[in-house]
Amino acid sequence: MRSSFSPLPILPLALLVTAALPAPPAAAAQTGRLTEMNVFDLEYASDPRISPDGDQVVYVRQFADVMTDRNYSNLWMVRSDGSEHRPLTTGKFLDSSPRWSPDGTRIAYVSNRGGGVPQIHMHWVESGQTATVTNLTDPMAGLSWSPDGAHLAFNKLVPEAPLVIGEMPAPPAGADWAPPAKYTDDIVFRFDGMGDVPAGAWHIFAIPAEGGTPRQLTTGEEGFANGFFAAPGSGPEWAPTSDALIVAANLRPDRDLEWTDSEIYEIALADGAVTQLTDRRGPDNSPTVSPDGSQIAYLGYDDRYQGYQVTRLEVMNRDGSNARVISGDLDRTVYQIEWAPDGNGIHGLFDDEGNTKLALFGLDGGHEILAEDGGSGFMAYGGFGVSYTVAADGSFAWTTSRPDRPGDVAVGRSGSETRIVTGVNADLFAGRELASVEEIWWESSKDGLPVQGWIMKPPGFDPARRYPLILEIHGGPFANYGDRFDLEKQLWAAAGYVVFYANPRGSTSYGEEFGNLIHHAYPGDDFYDLNSGVDAVIARGYIDEDNLFVTGGSGGGVLTAWMIGNTDRFRAAVSFYPVINWYSFALTADMAPVAVKYWFPGLPWDNVEHYESRSLLSVVENVKTPTLIMTGEEDWRTPMSESEQYYKALKLLGVEAVLVRVPEEAHGIWGRPSHGISKITTVKGWFEKYAGEGRPVS
């Protein structure tokens, strides 16, 4: 039995703390600094969709509710000049994926406001009327209009009966038997954020735009989910003639072991006939068809089983011939591509030295930067929440983020400055002082490698004082931090910390060679990059060297444990949802096939020394630092068993340690706003406990 699914892209989260510092929480509130309860006040703009004529933008506005302790989202509209900013939908629902009809008269979107499985809804712009156009019984993902406006296409789960071995007798009438046993023969049977993977496959469906019965266009047990890691916001790509869809899918029989090996296919609308267009070892995904229908742009690379491989922008003829790379001179991963309306280029995003850029790539291989500072959300990760769309006149809408701006919609076009047309947190930030962010570069003590980072200084910063320092380490490990808004770090700084975060070797946005410095060598020399960075910040003269703290989540939780296994300079540490034992991780985590094939040279029992030497248990006997470990009980990315192993090892060694288990939480511990706040308060107490003598306590 083979399962196929379309998971939400999940990034590791960092730690949020406050501590024993000169400005306790009450004082912080009086001086207009951010507090933990502002988690319920912050809003985030995402998925902006500019109208075909470039006049209006519809976007998703995300918010949290303090009474229900839930996250919600509605749709909002704004004109491209920033006027007439108003809600399109309201209420405590999850409204998402707004998509303009080709003529700009309607907006299709997905919502759970009817209860149960989210459905496709249709909004008529002129009249303001809304109707539900589907009655689905199974989850759907992705949504796209046919160019003629007649159909909508989407991905939907086609369930199948779960596997059962043997035949149970029927219970007597009125009996109350226990839930049945769960059977699986899939290697990936649980996925983080999803839990048990439902039996079945994701396939492509089309439905008339005015509603009706969805028609299934693809079949098979492997599924057509636009690739194994398809994001729910992405949908099948239509040919300009509206008679076919272009999709990426992994149809390999062993796709559970070879996650990334997708190809691009054309699906005929009339009869569902499938034509394969690419054929190579490696991912081919995110296809988009040129306006004249003659070419397809897509993303991919020749897979070498390396930990980090730069994704290139490629173009081929509609029939799959004459494939060529057009981003070869750019040693950065390109993502989220879209043809220019005139067909003379392709828009795309890439991260460069911690900054997300929107570019227009020419078919001759050059590119023009259209905008910088992309992002949207409460973390400083590259790619997190950023998105854009392009109108017929070449104008674009996209999400932008800076350290003082969580995420807003900006509008621009080639040759002109972008302008921000929303201010979703202007009311909250009015009268509040946020932390300032300063870029820093230094050389690693390991080999002189240049490394980039950022220093976040508390509100009211005085360089004549001495401040406690938090080193916060990003996860991934193939990811990047940048000068984007980060709620957790802002709250640390509001409590009086200097917060230092960095992109050590292995981080993305510096090219393939830099990323692969940790290939089959993680954790390792990244210790020297981070430790040297701490020295560089201390050299600025305003750090209290007796009050250094370290934390991080996921891959950052790994490196937190690695740091305290190699130095005792930190007073206390918090490791969020780490991997501690690579051997057990490879046999329990949802992404085990990736770890075995890309992060290690092979299976654990064939490479025991390799797995053990990089395990955090290999340095745990060196740990003297009081350590708190915090993980969600439904984390299948870095399962709870990893944290339990580290906790037990520390206790057996006599190290002061606490294990924190968060119910019903997956990787990141932000499924419920209050659980995110519990990260703040728990670590606040831990750091206060180990603050240096003479430090005031809150």
| φ and ψ at residue 677, rounded to 5 degrees | -65, -35
Average pLDDT, the chain: 91
Query: What is the structure's pLDDT at 407?
Result: 94
Domains and CATH numbers, the chain: 436-580+615-689 (3.40.50.1820)
Q: Is 245 left (phi over 0), alpha (psi -120 to 50) or beta?
A: beta
Contact (CB, 8 A) for 317 and 302 = no
Q: Tell me, what's the pLDDT at 693?
A: 55
**565-569 contacts: CB < 8 A, separation 24 or more?**
565/616, 565/618, 565/619, 565/620, 565/622, 565/623, 566/527, 566/531, 566/619, 566/622, 567/527, 567/531, 568/622, 568/624, 568/625, 569/534
Answer yes or no: are the C-beta atoms of 213 and 220 closer than 8 Å.
Answer: no
- pLDDT at 696 > cutoff 70: no
Q: H/E element holding 216?
A: strand 215-216
* CB neighbours of residue 594 within 10 Å: 15
* CA dist., res. 266 & res. 245, Å (int): 6
* pLDDT above 60 for 85: yes
Question: What is the number of alpha carbons within 13 Å of residue 310 lying toward its C-beta?
Answer: 22
Structural Rg of the chain based on CA atoms: 25
* Integer Cα distance of 314 and 296 in angstroms: 8
pLDDT of residue 1: 31
3-state secondary structure 364-397: CCCEEEEECCECCCCCCECCCCCCEEECCCCCEE
The tokens for 11 are 């990034």
Query: And the tokens for 478?
Result: 């193939």
Q: Which residue has the tokens 């009655």?
A: 135
Strand segments, DSSP code E, in 14-53 are: 44-50
The pLDDT of residue 18 is 26
Question: What pLDDT is stored for residue 31 in this prediction?
Answer: 52
Whether pLDDT at 492 is above 90? no
Q: Which residues of 265-302 are buried (b: 16+ CB within 10 A; e: fewer)?
A: bbbebeebebeebbeeebbbbbbbbbeeeebbbbbbbe
pLDDT for position 234: 62
Predicted confidence at residue 682, as pLDDT, reads 83
**Amino acid letter, residue 542:** Y
Bridge partners (DSSP) of residue 359 are 348, 369
Q: Specify the amino acid at residue 27.
A: A
**Do 365 and 327 meet the contact criterion of CB atoms below 8 Å apart?**
yes
DSSP per-residue letters across 304-330: ---S--PPEEEEEETTS-S-EES-TT-
DSSP 529-588: HHHHHHHHHHTTS-EEEEEEEEEEETHHHHHHHHHHTT----SEEEEES----HHHHHHH
Q: Is the pLDDT of residue 496 over 60?
A: yes
Which residues does residue 335 pair with via DSSP β-bridges, in sequence order? 349
Q: What is the reported pTM? A: 0.92
369-407 burial by CB neighbour count: b if 16+ within 10 A, else e? ebbebbbbbbbbbbbbbbbbbbbeebbbbbbbbbbebbb
Q: Is the pLDDT of residue 26 over 90?
A: no
CA 529/CA 521 separation, integer angstroms: 14
Whether the per-residue pLDDT at 227 is higher than 70: the answer is: no
**What is the DSSP pairing of strand 543-553 with strand 467-473?**
parallel
pLDDT band, very low/low/confident/very high, at 697 (cuts 50, 70, 90) = very low
Q: Which residues of 243-255 are buried (b: 16+ CB within 10 A; e: fewer)?
A: ebbbbbbbbeeeb
The mean pLDDT value for 398-420 works out to: 94
Question: In angstroms, what CA-CA distances link 123 with 126, 147, 389?
Answer: 9, 18, 19
Q: Which two tokens stand for residue 229?
A: 């890691």
The whole-angstrom separation of Cα 256 and Cα 3 is: 8
Residue 531 and residue 552 in contact, taking contact as beta carbons nearer than 8 Å: no
Helix (H, G, I), strand (E, B) or coil at 491: helix
For residue 6, is pLDDT > 60? Answer: no
Q: pLDDT tens, 562-584?
A: 999 999 999 999 999 999 999 99
Question: For position 30, what pLDDT does the model report?
Answer: 39
- For range 458-468, the mean pLDDT: 95
How many whole angstroms from its chain centre is CA 216? 30
Percent of the chain with pLDDT over 90: 84
Statement: residue 249 has pLDDT above 60: yes
pLDDT in tens, 596-655: 999 999 999 999 999 999 999 999 999 999 999 999 999 999 999 999 999 999 999 999
Judge whether residue 72 has pLDDT over 50.
Answer: yes
Q: What is the pLDDT of residue 448?
A: 97
How buried is 323 (Cβ within 10 angstroms: 0-12 exposed, 13-18 middle, 19+ buried)?
A: middle
